[in-house]
Amino acid sequence: MALLVQKFGGSSVADVDAIRRVAQRVAASRAAGDDVAVVVSAMGDTTDDLLDLAGQVSPNGPPDRELDMLLTAGERISMALLAMAIQDLGTPARSFTGQQAGMHTDSSHGRARLLDVTPSRVADTLKRGEVAIVAGFQGVSEDEDITTLGRGGSDTTAVALAAALNADVCEIYTDVDGLYTADPRIVPAASRVTRITIEETLEMAAHGAKILHLRAVEYARRFGVPLHVRSSFSDQEGTWILVDRPLTGALHQDGTTRHTSSASEPHPETHTEDPMEDPLISGIAHDKSLAKITVVGVPDRPGAAAKVIGAVSTGGVSIDMIVQNVSTSPHGLSDISFTLPEADGAIAVAAVRDLQQELGVEDVLYTSHVGKLSLIGAGLRSNPAVAQRMFIALADAGINIEMISTSEIRISVITDQDVLEDAVRAVHSAFRLDSEADAVVYGGTGR
């Protein structure tokens, strides 16, 4: 008997039929003897509809506090309906708001951070053998104001609840049946990943994979919550995201099974292949909405990079990748490049130009419309053949690499936005990640 936290996104509870389907799944888990806490998002388009109303009544932009009050009505509706549907199947269930579930946050409306999670009412409900349903995305501040956790907030709620309840697993039900080796909309032959480490998932989420929110993955990593990403529309096994394992350990000895068909999944440990021919790749993430700034001729002295990056960050711009080469110029000058969300380009350029004189920088170059491809897998740094194969694949496809950045488990390259999808396909093929089965993708996204 396990304690499960099951999270259902907006597309999983989009209408009455979907809610009843989720209710059957939850009731079945309960009937199998597991304790079940459910975290639920607002139904389908509810959030967008409410945002639309807010825009209509406040042409000058709705105030954050009231927007949180408004949007949290969405989960209130879905969770109450789900509790009703589960009870209608004869399984006792009760719903809890973020406040009732002990989701205490700071006061940053619209992007509140969890401070403390004390789900005693949820725990009591589970102890009585009932299903507890918790509103995703929402919390309560120390001033007892209603807050929301921002986009991806329901995933974060689920992981935080699982951590606080010491759940055996946090199941993330979504409209895709797991994590894929690449976005199946771009690489139709992308294959489902059976198992992946939390660190690799973190890199995937941080570098553009949309299925799990970065913040939820960070939370799961910190608190050691195993995640299981599954489809709410099928009984596919989905993807297990495992924690508390060394990055290059036993798991990765069987990592080669990740891109085999699901038929081999029951015994992944027994499956081996040549680790050189098939490196330990988890998948390819990509991000299409980036821009790039290169600061040319930065004096090679301590603090120069800090000043450049500091000026941009102060303007509220979130910087993505930073690359600085060693100074080879006789004048001790180097170039610093960094990527950032395309939407923040103008602010960032202005911030750097303001510094140009002070720093004695030669030039500031701005390139919008760049893309990033990230190859993620265990032990990449210690395996130069992987990078080599990746760069060859890109060269063979005629794709120019503008920047390179690597971590222990990731190699990212910046390319022109227009060739990014070709790049993803080329690298996916080069690492033989292509599956014979088509990926299953259902429409819509939750929050």
Binding site for a second copy (CB under 8 A): 16, 19-20, 23, 50, 53-54, 56-60, 62-63, 65-67, 69-70, 72-74, 76-77, 79-85, 87-88, 94-95, 97, 100, 121, 144-146
Comparison of 17 and 358: residue with beta carbon closer to a second copy = 17
**Least gap, CB of 75 to a second copy (angstroms):** 9
E strand or H helix that includes residue 88: helix 64-88
What is the Cα–Cα distance from 86 to 84, expressed in whole angstroms? 5
- Backbone angles phi and psi of 288, in degrees to 5: -100, -10
What is the Cα–Cα distance from 382 to 279, expressed in whole angstroms? 12
What is the Cα–Cα distance from 86 to 19, expressed in whole angstroms? 9
Comparison of 121 and 353: residue with beta carbon closer to a second copy = 121
Comparison of 72 and 191: residue with beta carbon closer to a second copy = 72
**Least gap, CB of 13 to a second copy (angstroms):** 10
Comparison of 145 and 168: residue with beta carbon closer to a second copy = 145
**Least gap, CB of 177 to a second copy (angstroms):** 25
Comparison of 126 and 205: residue with beta carbon closer to a second copy = 126
**Least gap, CB of 47 to a second copy (angstroms):** 12
**Least gap, CB of 60 to a second copy (angstroms):** 5
Residue 272 CB-density burial (10 A; 0-12 exposed, 13-18 middle, 19+ buried): exposed
**Least gap, CB of 105 to a second copy (angstroms):** 16
CB neighbours of residue 415 within 10 Å: 21
What is the Cα–Cα distance from 237 to 223, expressed in whole angstroms? 24
Give SS3 for 390: helix
What is the Cα–Cα distance from 145 to 105, expressed in whole angstroms? 10
- The two three-digit tokens of residue 58, written as one number: 């406040």
**Least gap, CB of 400 to a second copy (angstroms):** 49
Nearest to 339 by CA among 324, 352, 321: 321
Comparison of 76 and 151: residue with beta carbon closer to a second copy = 76
Residue 73 CB-density burial (10 A; 0-12 exposed, 13-18 middle, 19+ buried): middle
Comparison of 77 and 242: residue with beta carbon closer to a second copy = 77
What is the Cα–Cα distance from 81 to 40, expressed in whole angstroms? 11
Comparison of 107 and 368: residue with beta carbon closer to a second copy = 107
For 129: left if phi > 0, alpha if psi spans -120 to 50, otherwise beta; the answer is left
**Least gap, CB of 125 to a second copy (angstroms):** 12
DSSP state of 163: H
